[in-house]
Structure 1
């Protein structure tokens, strides 16, 4: 039912004012949070790792225990952030270019570096990017075509064909070129794209439970991330950048242009020079590069956990090891310590 509503809203983005659409989605978020739906409970388990890790690595002298109260408060913010993303995605067809550009800005130590790397006039090259399900990644892609380079990315092939087509249409409308997961020789096609000047390939990579995922350490546990960012960076020799996206309150002038009180920051970190891993065997190099970008990304998640939209099992403690395939014995031994 909810999927049908989203498809209908995306096809008729001007029927309802954006504030009404946002209000409907926020009400749904609060309802799910109040009854502690299964997805909310999983979100809280994921966030508990982040909070405990952040406390352990801070200068606080207090215990590293995460209280139920602070976890519930954070999960409510997280659900509202997540559903806000959907309200924005479904109504993007009613937004002008000025409104969208006012809703997101770039920042971070890697911003100038990636702009130089992909400079259109210098035709220096292209750049792969690792990122997670955080903030509004559709806005990231829209912003990037003006401030960095055109975007080619991958969308998950959903079982619901109507929802899949809806999200693909939204991203294409925002100027992105979209491949689907499961496309034959997908990695090779992305690498071919990156061998052309002036383009970027950002990949949502913070969750991959397929047999091809890479196990890395994160937030005092282990998660399985997509190998794509590390693989295409290593194979092409291009530096790998990392993106975190989070919400911010807009200034009065930006609020006027954006027609909404909140926008997003696309924070770019890196680059990670993959050439330093060239002496390693390929599989070991891909693992080390994956761990490196996850270390950078995790700091961004810890700084803005409310905008991490991870409502599925991701940490070793929540995974059924008997159902995971192609896990090396040494990795299984590491995973066992978290059970």
Structure 2
């Protein structure tokens, strides 16, 4: 019964929220974020601890602002399926030089690896990539209950991307992603939290954590350009910044993967430090 209620809640979100006038939806989700801040439950407490690692002398209002940003992500996610290609293109801003670099990298036919932390609205960014005519594939954590996982897969497929399950698929995700890169696709991966318990240990905001090795392995194996993608919210858009990561070309593979993953962690930290309120990390991260 609990699983069915969770599934119903997400399904209702996608149906109801996108039918609301935008100002009404914003007020509702902001109010929900403020209630979570006042209630100070486990997720809010974890977010506070994570943000304090980033900004040691932070004001507590940063936690409130981060919860509002997280609520905005969900509000926008529930509304994305009803938007048009023109909406997707208008909803994200990228500096012209970064756009030209990304377009050129994909046109070269080697594909591109886009690795990003849990910042801003990554679903809106993915919809923007697809709306530019660039095929994209991503990997989804197999959520529980299974019905919620299927809803998220269907949601992201409707936005135009191919979605591979992290576990339980017919083939290992890295194999499929490598093939897609060889076909000139964009591969987008969330890379600031390791879900396998076998990730690469890195230094991140002065502490030790593990991050997935997949982005580094794919870039090293295929030669595809690797970018750390920074996303943040403006009043009306998602703002994207690209930071190119150059993997080392010599040395043992495991050493090169570790060095590349550390470079990604450093790039993530640079962006998060600029807008910590838009980093949506409500789970345990540091070892």
Q: Output the TM-score relative to the length of structure 2.
A: 0.91
Distance 2:23 2:88 in 1: 15
Distance change >3 Å, CA 231–CA 301, structure 1 → 2: same
2:44 is matched with: 40
> Unpaired segments of 5 or more residues in structure 2?
none
SS of equivalent residue, structure 1 residue 129: strand
Check conservation: 1:246, 1:304, Cα contact below 8 A. yes
Q: Are 2:161 and 1:187 aligned?
A: no
**Deviates further, 26-35 or 40-49:** 26-35
Distance 2:229 2:133 in 1: 13
Distance change >3 Å, CA 166–CA 17, structure 1 → 2: farther
1:296 is matched with: 267
The alpha carbon displacement at 1:105 in A equals 1.6
1:177 is matched with: 162
The two structures, once aligned, show a CA RMSD in angstroms of 1.9
Q: Are 2:217 and 1:231 aligned?
A: yes
Among 199, 202, 206, the residue aligned to 2:192: 206
Check conservation: 1:104, 1:140, Cα contact below 8 A. yes
Distance change >3 Å, CA 108–CA 203, structure 1 → 2: farther
2:137 is matched with: 152
The alpha carbon displacement at 1:18 in A equals 3.2
Among 117, 124, 129, the residue aligned to 1:139: 124
Distance 2:19 2:133 in 1: 33
Check conservation: 1:241, 1:269, Cα contact below 8 A. yes
The alpha carbon displacement at 1:110 in A equals 4.3
2:94 is matched with: 106
The alpha carbon displacement at 1:112 in A equals 2.7
Distance change >3 Å, CA 40–CA 299, structure 1 → 2: same
Among 265, 281, 285, the residue aligned to 2:256: 285
The alpha carbon displacement at 1:48 in A equals 0.7
The alpha carbon displacement at 1:244 in A equals 0.7
Alpha-carbon deviations, 1:153-187, whole Å to 9, x = none? 11111012232222222211111111111133111
Among 242, 264, 272, the residue aligned to 1:268: 242
The alpha carbon displacement at 1:83 in A equals 1.1
Distance 1:107 1:310 in 2: 26
Q: Output the TM-score relative to the length of structure 1.
A: 0.78
Alpha-carbon deviations, 1:281-309, whole Å to 9, x = none? 11111101000111111100100110000
Q: Which has the larger radius of gyration?
A: 1
Distance change >3 Å, CA 108–CA 81, structure 1 → 2: farther
Q: Are 2:83 and 1:95 aligned?
A: yes
Number of residue pairs aligned between Structure 1 and Structure 2: 281
